[in-house]
């Protein structure tokens, strides 16, 4: 089980949030799991944590399509914050639009964080979703 200081789940779908939280219990030891309904709430919390010297989330599950500020906008803003800590961002979506995958690939090229792409529904949280490096067999 991986020890994680802070996890953000940014998704407006309560069923997805419930599922991620339930799956995290078996793979991560984390006492600080924050839930946000949109990217704006998560971004504001991220800035507040940074200003107060609190740990930046090591892992973020980030929905692409949300009201107010979507996942892409959140990611754009987060990149501008120049956070130097190791962060794993799992972009999650129910979209089947190939343009979303292309957009993710473009972000991956310019994003200083580990950026994964996961389709909903999520059935399992993999070690690389938490930043665990597994040796190739």
Q: Which two tokens stand for residue 92?
A: 């999650």
May I ask the CATH architecture of the domain 2-130? 3-Layer(aba) Sandwich (3.40)
Measure the CA–CA gap between 59 and 46, rounded to whole angstroms. Answer: 12
pLDDT of residue 91: 92
Give the residue extent of every domain in the chain: 2-130
3-class SS of residue 132? coil
pLDDT of residue 135: 42
pLDDT (tens digit, 9 = 90+) per residue, 18-59? 999 999 988 888 999 999 999 999 999 999 999 998 999 999
Of 135 and 80, which is predicted with more confidence? 80
């Amino acid at each position: 089980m991986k020890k994680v200081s802070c996890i953000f789940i940014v998704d407006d779908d309560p069923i997805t949030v419930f599922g991620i939280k339930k799956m995290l219990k078996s793979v991560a030891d984390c006492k600080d799991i924050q839930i946000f309904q949109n990217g704006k709430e998560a971004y504001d919390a991220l800035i507040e944590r940074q200003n107060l010297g609190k740990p930046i989330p090591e892992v973020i599950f980030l929905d692409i399509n949300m009201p107010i500020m979507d996942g892409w906008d959140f990611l754009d803003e987060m990149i501008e914050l120049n956070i130097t800590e190791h962060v794993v961002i799992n972009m999650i979506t129910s979209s089947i639009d190939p343009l979303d995958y292309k957009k993710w690939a473009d972000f991956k090229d310019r994003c200083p964080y580990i950026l994964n792409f996961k389709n909903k529904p999520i059935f399992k949280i993999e070690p690389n979703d938490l930043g665990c490096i597994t040796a190739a067999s």
